[in-house]
Structure 1
């Protein structure tokens, strides 16, 4: 673990911010051959209960999300706007949380379980009306995987070192992130797994967050994807606090 008594967080996060920007800019400006291979932008509405550390354990969530792959790598970005019931001060609970996760291709492999190795970065930011805030910077190595399952559209695994700055802790830790997406006969299952560990101030934390959806585009005869279904949030030691979460939510997702 990094000793923050001798190195201040701003001195660490400033170059990391530059590194994240540089990863994105490097790909965007690499050459005239750098083109988009896939792009998707969507908006999602969620409504669910049993969320921990929020008043009344009920949340309405609106998410703007973008994912794209390019010849140089890719970008994933989302922003959540969460709204719950009144807190102890009589004010509605509100929270904004987002992530920017660029990746830059380091190596590509044909006919292999590992399709591509990436330099991976991630910036996590957010604050809520309870006074919690966070600005975390993650840097690591990731791999796009070739999973031999019919309908598997993508899968990846990344290992990060996280430079954390939040209300509960500014101690570093490490994080393993898995992402996946499967689709067949208009049924869609996708999501992620995050495991954070080695934080001196918090317990290890595991979050498993799948979405199970059905694409109504063909049924309705519309131009864009419209998915309905549910999201389930399992969170062991939410924010490392020792509180566990088991929260299902109804979901509607529209792709532009």
Structure 2
């Protein structure tokens, strides 16, 4: 284990301990289903179904995001991938407001990436931003400690933009990951937005039930030079 990994493990544990003794400001659970035909690397046929569990929460000390994918390729056995990403607010630690202009807060950021055969840990700094019209807009800068390839740096953006037309409610959200290159992998860029219509509103549901599309624009997928993915997948997502 690299020297950085115990530090991040301590951060993850301390974040969980803080969560047990802090006010929960908001919390969200969801299940989603994806069906696409042009995935790269994970399946020779390009076809794959994915079931994802997600949980996000905001606390008086910061926020957390967790997701676990069950990947079910058409031509090989299923596998899993997950991430747990807590962020610790520096404003809450210092009892002073760090907001200024579009900046809402500065946070210590960590991510634990887990999957079959690897266990990566990322640590760095995050920024919560006020962008007009957006429900949230976050920027994280990481140093990644990787199991099976060289360590690298990563930039992550995540956002959610709700909008309505007539009586229809939509949500445009997603993420962008960019990582630096190394001797063992090429630089990656994964831009994955989702455009979703809230069908639950018209079915009398209190919780959101979204129908829509996810589009993956991934250059050098998994750090493999010139292995680019352009995939649109049908999406069903239920919040509860």
TM-score, normalising length: structure 1: 0.85
Asked if the contact 1:55/1:93 (under 8 Å) is kept, the reply is no
Structure 2 Cα separation of the partners of residues 198 and 237 of structure 1: 10
1:13 paired residue number: 5
2: CA distance between counterparts of 1:234 and 1:78?
20
8 Å CA contact 2:181, 2:188 repeated in 1: no
1:201 aligns with 2:180: no
Cα distance in 2 between the residues matched to 1:106 and 1:245: 37
Residue 103 of structure 2 corresponds to which residue in structure 1?
114
1:223 has 2:206 as partner: yes
Distance 1:10 1:174 in 2: 16
Task: Tell me how far apart the structure 2 counterparts of residues 109 and 16 of structure 1 sit (CA, whole Å).
Answer: 24
Which consecutive residues of structure 1, in runs of 5 or more, have no partner in the other structure? 1-8, 87-91, 128-132
State the Cα deviation string for residues 26-61 of structure 1 (Å, max 9, x = none). Answer: 3433xxxx3111111000000001100122111100
Please state if 1:163 is matched with 2:142: no
Match of 1:234 among 217, 231, 239: 217
Q: Quick check: 1:60–1:83 contact (8 Å CA) kept in 2?
A: yes
- C-alpha separation between the residues in 2 aligned to 1:118 and 1:15? 16
Give the equivalent residue in structure 1 for 2:135: 153
Mapped contact 2:57–2:63 kept (Cα < 8 A)? yes
Equivalent position to 1:246, from 230, 235, 240: 230
Aligned ranges 1:122-137 → 2 under 5 Å: 122-127=111-116, 133-137=117-121
Residue-pair matches, total: 229
2:207 counterpart SS class: coil
Q: SS of 1:57's equivalent? A: coil
Give the distance between the partners of 2:143 and 2:84, measured in 1 at CA. 16
SS in 1 for 2:212: strand
**Distance in 2 separating the partners of 1:70 and 1:196:** 29
1:27 and 1:104 in contact (8 A); partners too: no
TM-score, with length taken from structure 2: 0.91
Higher mean displacement: 194-203 or 106-115 = 106-115
Query: Is 1:22 the counterpart of 2:14 in the alignment?
Result: yes
Give a deviation string over 1:100-145, Cα, whole Å, max 9, x none. Answer: 0000000244562110100000000012xxxxx3211000000000
The yes-or-no answer on 1:49 pairing with 2:37 is yes
* Structure 2 counterpart SS, 1:51: coil
- List gaps (5 residues or longer) in structure 2: 92-96
